[in-house]
Chain A
Amino acid sequence: MLALREYLQSYHSYPGIKIIEWKKREGMVDVPARDLPEILTYCLDMRPRPIWLTHVVNDERQLGNGFCVYLVLHFPGKDFSLTLVAKGIKDKFPTLSLIFPALNWSEREAQDLFGLQAVGHPDPRPLVLHPGWSQDFHPLCKDYKAGQDRKAFKRQPLVFPEMHGDGIFQVSVGPIHAGIIEPGHFRFYAIGEPVLHLEAQLFYTHKGVEKLLEGKSIEEGLQIIERLCGVCTVSHSLAYCEAVEKLASVEVPRQVLLWRTILAELERVYNHVGDIGNMCAGVGFALGNANGAQGKEKLQRLNSDYFGHRFLRGMVVPGGLKSIPGAKDRKDLLNRLLVLSDDFEDWIPLLQEHDGFRQRAVTAGILKTDVALDMGVTGPAARASGLANDWRELHAYLLYAELNVKSIVRQDGDAWSRLMVRVKETRESFRFLNTLLREAMQGPELDDEKLTALAGKKIRLLTPAWGCVESPKGTEVIWLMLDDEGKIYRCRIRSASYANWPAVPLTMPGNIVPDFPLINKSFELCYSCCDR
C-alpha cells in the first residue's frame, strides 16, 4: 500500500489531500471533492482491483464540514481498507458512477435523500423516493424532522423509458405479486418471449430506517438493525457491533469470537439450504423445494431450541453475546447438526444429478465477470462469476483465519453456478460448525459479565467507523458515526442485496420471460434491507 500512499502524498493538490489515519489495515484520507474521480481512477487501476465496501453521504453542516462523502474501498490481497473523505460539499459533487458503476444507486440515493446533485450522473432519475414527493423533501438532512412531511406525498405514476419497434411490448409485474414475496415492480421489454431489457423499480419498502436510527442510543440502534430484514439478523448485528467495538476500542474475548462465528455460520447454513430449496420452486421442482423447506425449518427449530430465536435475533450485543448454551446443549447442538448435515448430503444429489433442472439452470441469467466487478456485486452471485471476494477470506475476521476459509469460485456466472456455490458453501459451513463446536465443547461456561464488555469503555465520538460481515447474501457493511452525546449521528446500511440488486436486470436480456423467476431466485436478494 506504500505506492498508494506515495501517490496520494505526491498528488498535485497536496496538501489539499490530508492523510488523517494510516494504519496497517485501515486508512482514512481527506480529499477535495473535485479530485475524487481522479484518485478513484488511480485506485481502480491497481491490481487486484479494489472492491467498494460502502459509500456514505453525511450531513455534517452542524459540525462545520458541510455535506461529506465517505467512500470505503477495500484492496483485496493486502487486507487494506481505505476511506476517502470529501468534505465541504455544498449542493453538488462530481459523480463517480461513470468511473465505477457500482456507486450508481448510492449517488442517486444521495440526490433523493440529501438534495445534493451528482454532477454528470448518467442516470439521475429518483431512486428511493418514488414520484409524488415534493422537490424539497430530503429526509436525511439534519434540519428535517421525521414525520413533518408525511402528508406531502401525492401519488404519481412511475416513469419508465420508452422502447419502440415492431413487436416490442412491455410486461409489467408487481409490485404486488401472486406469491408471498416482498414488493418490487419489474418491467420487461420483450419481443415475444425473449427479453430485450428489464427495469426494476424497488424501494417500495423504504421505511426510513437510517433516519429512524439518528439520535438513538447504541442499544436502541441494535434493536432496529436486527430487524432490518428477517434473514440476515446475525450478520447485520455483527457488522453493527464491529463498528461499535471499533469506536470503543474493545477487544472481544476469544470465546465470544468463537460463538459469534458459530452464530454466523448457523445463519449461513439455514439461509443457503432455504435458498437452494427456493430455486427449485423457480423451476417447479416440487421435491427439491419440499426438501429445502424441510431442511431450513429443522435448522431454524434448532436455532430456536438453543438460542431462543428462529432467526437468532437478540444474541449478538456490542462487546459480547447475550448468552451462550451450556455444556450439555453444546453437545446436543453438534449432534443434531451432524444429522442435519447428513440429511443435506442425502437430498442434494437429487438436484445435482437432475437433468431437467440442469437444463433450466445452466446458461440461464449469465452475469459476466467484468460486469460483476463493475457493478460491485458481492456474495454467492459474485463468486459464481469468478470473483474470489468472500469477506471471510479477504479480511478473516472472527475466527475465520483459523478456519482457513477459501472463497468458493465458479466461472460461468449462470444460475447453476450460483446454486453450486451455495451448495459447496453449505458443506463448508457444516464442516466449520463441526470444528467450532468441538472447540466450544471444551470451552468454559461463561458468566454474563464477561460477555458484555462495553460498559465503562470510552467511546470515540464524531468519528466514523464501519463494520463488515459476510452474510449469506454477500458482504454487509454498516457505517456508523456517533454524535457528541454518544447517540447515533448517522448510520449507513449497505446490505449485500443493495449491492447486488442493480446487477440482476443486467443478466436478463437474451433470456426468456419465464426464466426470470429462476434467475431472480438464483440471486435470492432481500428487498427489505435493500430498501431500508
Chain B
Amino acid sequence: MDESLMVLTRLLMGLGHLALFLVAAPLLQGFIKTSKAFWQMRQGPSILQPYRDLRKLLNKEELISEHASWMFLLTPRIALVSTLMAALVIPNAWGWAPLSGWGDLFLFGASLGLVRLFSTLSGLEGASTFGGMGSSRELFVGLLTEPALLLGLIVLAFITGTTSLQGMTSGLVTISPIFIPRLLVLIALVMVSIAEMGRIPVDNPDTHLELTMIHEGMLLEYSGTSLALLSFAEQVKQLLLLCLLAQIVWPSGLISASDGLLGLLWALGFAGVKVAVLGFFFATVESFFVKRRLFLLPNYLATSTAAAILALVSLWFIRGQI
C-alpha cells in the first residue's frame, strides 16, 4: 500500500513538474519579447501574447505540402514529446527532477539531438528551398554546438561527481561560484544556449528575411496545429536551457523546507526571478548585437568548445586528477 502510494505520489509530482514547464514556457517567451521591446523603446505585445498565438495556431487550418510524407506530420509531435523527455531530467524550482540518475546529461543531449534530427529531415519534406537551406544550416550549427554542450555538462559531472543533473545542481552548492572550471563551463553553456535557442548572434528569431533563416527556415512550411506544437516545443526548450543555466549559476532548491506551502512558493518565486534575469540578459544581448556572418559562426561556437575544453584542463590542474 505504501509502495503504491509512493509511486502514485512520484507520478503526480512528475506530471506536476511537466505541467509547470508547459505552463511557464510561453510566459518566458512573452517576457523575453517584452524585454526586447523595452530595449527597442517600443510598447511591445502583452506578456501573455505567446499563449494567444498558440491558441490561434491550434484553431487554424493546417496546410500540408503535396510533396510531404508522413514524416512531416510526425515531426512536431516528436519534437514536443522529446523536449518533454529532456524536461524530465532538468531540476525544477525545487531542485527536483523526476528522472534523476538515469544518465541524465546524455538523455538531455540525446533528446535535443532527436528533435534536431527530425526537424532537419522535415525541413526537406516541403521541397522548398528555404527548408533545405534551413536544414543544412541547422546541421552546420548543430555540429558545432552539441560537442560544447555535452563537454560542458561532462565537466560539471566531473566537478560534482555525478551525471545526474539534479545531483549536479545540489553538488554545486558547495562549490565556490568563482571556481575557475565552473566559470569556464558557464561561459561555454551560455554561448551554446544562444545557438540552441536560435537567437542573435547565431540566428534571428524575429526575422522576416527568408534568406537568413536557420531555425525558422525549417518551420516555414508548417502551419496550424503542427506549427503550434513546434513553436511550443521551442519555447519549452528555451525554458529548459534557462532553468539549467540558472541552476548552474546559483543552485537553489527548497529554501526552507520546513515552511511548507510558503516555502514551496518562495522557492518557485526565487527560481522564477533567476530565469527572468537570465531571460532579460539574453534579450539584451539580442538587442545590442547583430547576427554574424554565417561563415563566422564556427569561430563563435568554437570559442564555446574551447571554453569547455579549458574547463576540463583547468579542473585537471586544480584537482590534479579527474
Contact = CB atoms under 8 A, between A and B. Distances in A.
A172 B128 CA distance: 9
Contacts of B211: 171, 173, 513-514, 516-517
Contacts of A517: 209, 211-212
A90 to B, nearest CB: 45
Interface string A135-179: 000000000000000000000000000000000011111000111
B40 A177 contact: no
B294 A284 contact: no
Interface stretch (B113-121, B156-164, B229-237, B281-289): B281-289
A179 B290 contact: no
B41 A290 contact: yes
Nearest to A178: B208
A172 B204 contact: no
Contacts of B133: 171, 513
Contact of B290 (A178, A193, A294, A356): A356
A283 interface: yes
Given A172-B129, A193-B295, A359-B296, A286 B209 contact: no
Nearest to A282: B209
A285 B290 contact: yes
A401 interface: no
B17 interface: no
B209 A354 contact: no
Nearest to A192: B136
Contacts of B292: 356, 359-360
Nearest to A285: B290
Contacts of B208: 177-180
B201 interface: yes
Contacts of A170: 129
B294 A354 contact: no
A373 B3 CA distance: 85
B120 to A, nearest CB: 16
B146 to A, nearest CB: 21
B317 interface: no
A173 B293 contact: no
A436 to B, nearest CB: 30
B134 to A, nearest CB: 11
Interface string A168-199: 01111100011110000000000011000000
B209 A178 contact: yes
A512 B295 CA distance: 9
A290 B294 CA distance: 24
B9 interface: no
A526 to B, nearest CB: 18
Interface in A210-237: none
A357 interface: yes
Contact of A360 (B36, B209, B287, B293): B293
Nearest to B284: A287
B39 A514 contact: no
A515 B291 CA distance: 11
A354 B289 CA distance: 8
Contacts of B40: 286-287, 289-290
Nearest to B207: A284
A291 B40 CA distance: 8
A179 B208 CA distance: 5
Nearest to B41: A290
A515 B287 CA distance: 20
B294 A356 contact: no
Contacts of B288: 287
A41 B39 CA distance: 56
B210 A177 contact: yes
A289 B36 CA distance: 12
Interface string A442-474: 000000000000000000000000000000000
Contacts of A514: 211-212, 293-294
B312 interface: no
A172 B131 CA distance: 12
B319 interface: no
B210 A359 contact: no
Contact of A356 (B206, B289, B295): B289
A291 B212 CA distance: 22
B243 interface: no
Nearest to B286: A286
A343 B259 CA distance: 54
A294 B288 CA distance: 17
Interface of B: 36, 39-42, 129-130, 133, 136, 200-201, 204, 206-212, 220, 286-296
20 contacts: A169-B129, A170-B129, A173-B210, A178-B208, A178-B209, A284-B204, A285-B290, A286-B206, A286-B287, A290-B39, A294-B41, A354-B290, A356-B290, A359-B296, A360-B292, A360-B293, A512-B293, A514-B212, A514-B293, A517-B211
* A-B interface, 4 closest residue pairs, ranked by CB to CB distance from nearest: A179-B208, A290-B40, A284-B291, A284-B204
